[in-house]
Amino acid sequence: MGDGESLPRGPAVHPYRGLARNFTSLIGAALAAISLANIVFLVLVSWISSQPSPYLGILAFLVFPAFLILGLLLVPAGMWLERRRRRKRTPGEISKFPQIDLNRPAQRNALAFFVASSAVFLLLSAVGSYRAYEFTDSVEFCGQLCHAVMAPEYTAYLRSPHARVPCVDCHVGPGAGGYVRSKLSGSYQVYAVVFNKYPRPIPTPVVNLRPAQETCERCHWPSKFYGAQLKVFYHYAPDEKNTPRQIRMLINVGGAEPSAGLPSGIHWHMNLANQITYIATDAARQVIPWVQAKDMQGKVTIYTAKDSRLSSEQVNQAEKRRMDCIDCHDRPSHIFTPPDRSVDESLQAGRIDASLPFIKQEAVTVLSNTYATAAEAQTQIASEIRQFYQSKYPQVDQAQSQSIETAVSDVRKIYQSTIFPAMKTDWRSHPDNVGHLYSPGCFRCHDGQHTSAEGKVIPKDCNTCHTVQAQLEGAATLQVPAPPTGFSHPVDIGDLTQVNCSDCHSGGVGP
Say how far apart CA 158 and CA 151 lie, in whole Å: 10
If one asks whether residue 247 binds ligand HEC (CB under 6 A), the answer comes out as yes
Q: Kindly identify the residues of this chain, within the stretch 123-142, that bind ligand HEC according to CB under 6 A.
A: 139, 142
Least distance to ligand HEC, CB of residue 254, Å: 6
What CA dihedral angle connects 192, 197, 201 and 204, to 10 degrees?
-50
CB of 448 to ligand HEC, least distance (A): 8
User: For residues 245 and 237, is the Cβ–Cβ distance under 8 A?
Assistant: yes
Q: How far is the CB of 324 from ligand HEC (least distance, A)?
A: 6
Binding mask 327-366 for ligand HEC (x = CB under 6 A): xxxx-xxx--------------------------------
- Is residue 429 classed exposed, middle or buried when 0-12, 13-18 and 19+ CB atoms within 10 A define those classes? middle
Q: If binding means CB under 6 A, how many residues of this protein chain bind ligand HEC?
A: 93
121, 179, 226, 233: residue in contact with ligand HEC (rule CB under 6 A) = 233
Span from 28-36, 52-60, 78-86, 208-216 in contact with ligand HEC (CB under 6 A): 208-216
d(CA 92, CA 87): 8
CB nearer to ligand HEC: pick between 74 and 343: 343
Q: How far is the CB of 466 from ligand HEC (least distance, A)?
A: 5
**Nearer Cβ to ligand HEC (72/202):** 202
C-alpha torsion 499→500→506→509, nearest 10? 0
**Rounded-to-integer distance, Cα 320 and Cα 317, Å:** 9
10 vs 474, which CB is nearer to ligand HEC? 474
User: Is residue 504 close enough to count as binding ligand HEC by CB under 6 A?
Assistant: yes
Nearer to ligand HEC, 58 or 276 (CB): 276
Shortest CA distance to 171 belongs to which of 220, 206, 136? 206
Q: Which stretch binds ligand HEC (CB under 6 A): 64-72, 114-122, 206-214, 401-409?
A: 206-214
CA distance readout (Å), 231 to 92, 114, 305, 326, 468: 91, 69, 31, 21, 10
* 161 sits near ligand HEC (criterion: CB under 6 A): yes
| Angstrom distances, CA of residue 345 to CA of 217, 349, 354 | 30, 6, 11
**Closest distance to ligand HEC from the beta carbon of 190 (Å):** 14
CA distances from 232 to 355, 356, 471, 476, 505 (A): 22, 24, 10, 16, 19
CB-nearer residue toward ligand HEC: 83 or 430: 430
d(CA 182, CA 43): 25
Q: Which residues of 430-467 are buried (b: 16+ CB within 10 A; e: fewer)?
A: bbbbebbbbbbbbbbbbbbbbebeeeeebebebbbbbb
Residues in the chain, how many? 511
Quick check: 223 binds ligand HEC (CB under 6 A)?
Answer: no
Site string for ligand HEC, 388-427 (x = CB under 6 A): ----------------------------------------
Among 71, 269, 273, 431, binds ligand HEC (CB under 6 A): 269
Q: Which of 205, 211, 481, 508 lies at the binding interface for ligand HEC (CB under 6 A)?
A: 205
Applying CB under 6 A, among 246, 386, 487, 508 the residue interacting with ligand HEC is 487
87 to each of 81, 96, 104, 106, how far by Cα in Å?
10, 8, 22, 21
Would you say 195 or 221 has its CB closer to ligand HEC? Answer: 221
Contact 238, 222 (CB under 8 A): no
Closest listed residue to residue 427, CA positions, set 285, 511, 349, 330: 330
Q: Choose one: 32-40, 347-355, 377-385, 492-500; the region binding ligand HEC (CB under 6 A).
A: 492-500
Stretch that binds ligand HEC, among 10-18, 29-37, 204-212, 396-404 (CB under 6 A): 204-212
* Euclidean distance between CA atoms 274 and 260, whole angstroms: 14
- Please check whether residue 221 is in contact with residue 212, taking contact to mean a CB–CB distance below 8 angstroms: no
Out of 29, 237, 310, 374, the only residue in the binding site for ligand HEC (CB under 6 A) is 237
Chain positions 457 to 486 lying near ligand HEC, rule: CB under 6 A, are 458-460, 462, 464-466
* Contact call for residues 471 and 464 (beta carbons, < 8 A): no
CB of 206 to ligand HEC, least distance (A): 4
User: Pick from 53, 403, 451, 497: which binds ligand HEC (CB under 6 A)?
Assistant: 497
Cβ-contact 16, 97 below 8 angstroms: no
Q: Does 293 bind ligand HEC (CB under 6 A)?
A: yes
Can residue 150 be called a binding residue for ligand HEC (CB under 6 A)?
A: yes
Return the ∠ at Cα 117 (arms to 111 and 121), rounded to 5°.
145
Question: Does residue number 210 form part of the binding site for ligand HEC (CB under 6 A)?
Answer: no
CB of 31 to ligand HEC, least distance (A): 33
**Residue 467 Cβ, how far from ligand HEC at the closest point, in Å?**
10
The stretch among 100-108, 269-277, 308-316, 402-410 that binds ligand HEC (CB under 6 A) is 269-277
Distance CA 426, CA 507 (A): 11
Taking CB under 6 A as the criterion, the residue among 26, 69, 165, 260 binding ligand HEC is 165
Residue 430 near residue 334 (C-beta atoms within 8 A)? yes
Region from 27-35, 160-168, 177-185, 373-381 binding ligand HEC, contact rule CB under 6 A: 160-168
